[in-house]
Structure 1
Amino acid sequence: MNWRSEHIWIELLKGSRKRGNFFWACILFLGSLGFLAVGASSYLGKNIISVLPSQQILFFPQGVVMSFYGIAGLFISAYLWCTILWNVGSGYDRFDRKEGVVCIFRWGFPGIKRRVFLRFLMRDIQSIRIQVKEGLFPRRILYMEIRGQGAIPLTRTDEKFFTPREIEQKAAELAYFLRIPMEVF
């Protein structure tokens, strides 16, 4: 969702609460529970879940390995669910021509630097830069070049829905709004 007026442009970013993340967190959780159930069944010598027969699996070494995979999967699943719960990567980009300020805000992982808030003066922005890498794994990233700070990414690196035309259109609109040049690399 974006909001624009004559002097202010606010762009909201989604973060980690995406359908794909929910899907993989659920699949990983259920799969790791299955591995853990088979490992526990082989240890106990009886089926905990009738769908997953474990009479042919010896506890050592197969049951131990299955239990290890189940526990590891639960940890990775917990990590994914935490990133979804905390909505890591969400935030906004705010460009205010009236005040001459650009604010970039992102949520991170809990801790001292949970809130990432960057604030720049518009006169320090040198250009809007597009980095395009085509091939098997294409990358199209929009950067804002800041004097003395380097390049700050404005789009996520995993956003694959941008076609070259869409990323160029977005960069051109932003460069026009900020009244700065646009570069393509």
Structure 2
Amino acid sequence: MAVPLASKPDNKLVLRQSVLGARRPSNYFWAAATTLGGVGFLLSSLSSYFKVNLLPFSDPTQLVFIPQGVAMGFYGIAGTLLALYLWLIIAWDVGGGYNEFNRETGQLTIFRWGFPGKNRKIEVTHPLTDVQSIRVEIREGLNPRRALYLRIKGKGDIPLTRVGQPIALSELENQGAELARFLAVPLEGL
């Protein structure tokens, strides 16, 4: 998702690419499913202990608290804590940020949000003259990987794409070619 930012449409001095972090639709789905499951198991456990039906769609009061209610309580607490973790990383947008390449200042900035703390903001800047190339990594199979890397002189490779779901091959090629053209560096790995 490369979006040139400029005051005029024909001005190509700044290229800014947004990077999707934890606010992906799949994370929302899994957080909601885990919340429903965890709370459901917890309410089943409490229903079996207090012998009061807390669930509208079933009757867990017939469960024996030890061992069934305890097991459901354990799974309910574990599921609720996992759901809380998922909702927090979505709220903090861990991994989200942008890649900005600015010809006007001669700097590139890679910014990502991390977990709360003193290192919450992760920001890397380099001069554009230190960029050697754009490297594309494509690995298919059981654990596919499709990523763009920025090769910096004396620093190694810096990842530019999001972590998690692989990007479509055509989108990866387009992003890599656009960035290589913008920076006037070679595109490796295709």
TM-score using structure 1 length: 0.91
Partners of 1:131 and 1:184 within 8 A in 2: yes
Q: Is it true that 1:179 corresponds to 2:184 in the alignment?
A: yes
CA distance in 2 between counterparts of 1:122 and 1:145 reads 11
Partners of 1:139 and 1:157 within 8 A in 2: no
Partners of 1:39 and 1:64 within 8 A in 2: yes
Identity of aligned residues (%): 44
Q: Which runs of 5+ in 2 are unaligned?
A: 6-10
2:131 corresponds in structure 1 to 125
Letter matched to residue 171 of structure 1: G
Q: Deviations along 1:76-120, whole A, 9 cap, x unmatched?
A: 111111111112122111101232210111111110000001000
- Where has structure 1 moved over 3 Å in runs of 4 or more? none
Q: Deviations along 1:133-163, whole A, 9 cap, x unmatched?
A: 0123321100001122211110013233412
CA distance in 2 between counterparts of 1:136 and 1:63 reads 38
**Secondary structure at 1:156 match in 2:** coil
Alignment of 1:20-35 (within 5 A): 20-35=26-41
Cα deviation, residue 14, structure 1: 2.8
1:89 corresponds in structure 2 to 95
TM-score using structure 2 length: 0.89
CA distance in 2 between counterparts of 1:171 and 1:64 reads 53
CA distance in 2 between counterparts of 1:48 and 1:32 reads 14
1:43 corresponds, among 49, 71, 84, to: 49
CA distance in 2 between counterparts of 1:66 and 1:81 reads 22
**Secondary structure at 2:175 match in 1:** helix
1:169 corresponds in structure 2 to 174
2:8 corresponds in structure 1 to none
1:15 corresponds, among 13, 21, 31, to: 21
CA distance in 2 between counterparts of 1:26 and 1:50 reads 19
Which stretch shifts more, 39-48 or 120-129?
39-48
Q: Per the alignment, do residues 18 and 157 of structure 1 end up closer, same or farther by CA in structure 2, a change over 3 Å counting? A: closer
Q: Is it true that 1:157 corresponds to 2:163 in the alignment?
A: yes
CA distance in 1 between counterparts of 2:60 and 2:105 reads 67
